[in-house]
Amino acid sequence: MKKESKWIKLYKASPLSARIGLAIIIFGLAVALFAPLLAPYGESEVVADVWLSPGGEHLLGTDQLGRDMLSRIIYGARNSITIAFITTLIAFFVGAFLGLTAAVTGGWLDHLLSRIVDIFMAFPTLILALMILSVLGTSVPVLIVVVALLDATRVFRLARALAMDIAIMEYVDAARLRGEKTLYIVRREILPNALPALIAEFGLRFCFIFLFISSLSFLGLGIQPPTADWGSMVRENSGAINFGILTPLYPAGAIAVLTVSINMVVDWFLHRSAQIRA
């Protein structure tokens, strides 16, 4: 009899909420990956009158310019998820690397990095992002870099706190006595022990960044039209609510469903990690 893989066992041991969340995440990733094949119309193709009701050839109706809403949401999944994921990767790599290094090195480097992070965290993130984007522009590369660097401050704080707790362990002292380099200690001694909490934080960071970019798009300083983005789609169609048309609720619902799904998986992962440590 063939043995089950650890991933299958892990899936069977997961609660229903985590399974539902994982299924929705996989579905969202599949939609984002195969958007050009799944969308019935082009991303910016005008195909009918404005704000048509759902039905017929347009299952979710049309938007304020007469573009197919289902196609826009499908392409919006690709743009919103991809940009948020790339931004989260950059924020996490920069914040975690600097936080772990600062905690292990200590001294002037730790103080310098901590004070720089304190300065950035002293300002409301949304206001600071709006100021920077107003000056530098709202292209996608600028948006990714700005949001990633601002969010890296949060990752830095968590990574530094985790590393400082681990750095006082005996096996870390033994590595120092052996004459190991700082990079070796971070990579081989501290990072493996901090990884469960960092993985859970990655999921939460993705949610925060996903919502943050959607908020910027809603305010007009995020992903710019005609590129489909769930946040900007809510703003563009917000006037439909005055006529009892539900068009802006579709992208808003997509944002909410994906965010809640990721949180359900992260909550289960945190609970499982706590049980393993206990």
- The residue-averaged pLDDT of 239-258 equals 91
pLDDT in tens, 169-201: 888 888 888 888 878 888 888 888 888 888 888
Residues contacting 264, CB < 8 A, separation 6+: 17, 18, 20, 21
Return the pLDDT at 175: 82
Domains, the chain, ordered by start: 82-259 (1.10.3720.10)
- 55, β-bridge pairs: 58
**Which contacts of 148-151 are long-range, i.e. CB under 8 A and separated by 24 or more positions?**
148/87, 148/88, 148/90, 148/91, 148/94, 148/209, 149/91, 149/94, 150/120, 150/125, 151/87, 151/88, 151/91, 151/95, 151/125, 151/205, 151/208, 151/209, 151/212
Q: Is 202 exposed, middle or buried (0-12, 13-18, 19+ CB in 10 A)?
A: middle
Answer for the pair 200, 269: CB distance below 8 angstroms, yes or no.
yes
Residue 1 pLDDT greater than 50, yes or no: no
Top-confidence residue, 274 or 130: 130
Residue type, 184: Y
With b for 16 or more beta-carbon neighbours within 10 A and e for fewer, the 152-181 pattern comes to: bbbbbbbbbebbbebbeeeebeebeeeebe
Residue 3 pLDDT greater than 70, yes or no: no
Helix 69-105 to helix 107-121 angle (10° resolution) is 150
Residue 253 pLDDT greater than 60, yes or no: yes
Top-confidence residue, 7 or 275: 7
Using CA atoms, how far residue 185 sits from 100, 142, 158, 165, 219, in Å, is: 10, 34, 18, 14, 44
Cα 40 vs. chain centroid, distance in angstroms? 27
- Can you tell me the distance from the alpha carbon of 142 to that of 87, in angstroms, rounded to the nearest whole number? 11
Return the pLDDT at 76: 93
Residue type, 114: S
Residue 141 pLDDT greater than 80, yes or no: yes
- Can you tell me the distance from the alpha carbon of 99 to that of 117, in angstroms, rounded to the nearest whole number? 10
- The residue-averaged pLDDT of 47-73 equals 91
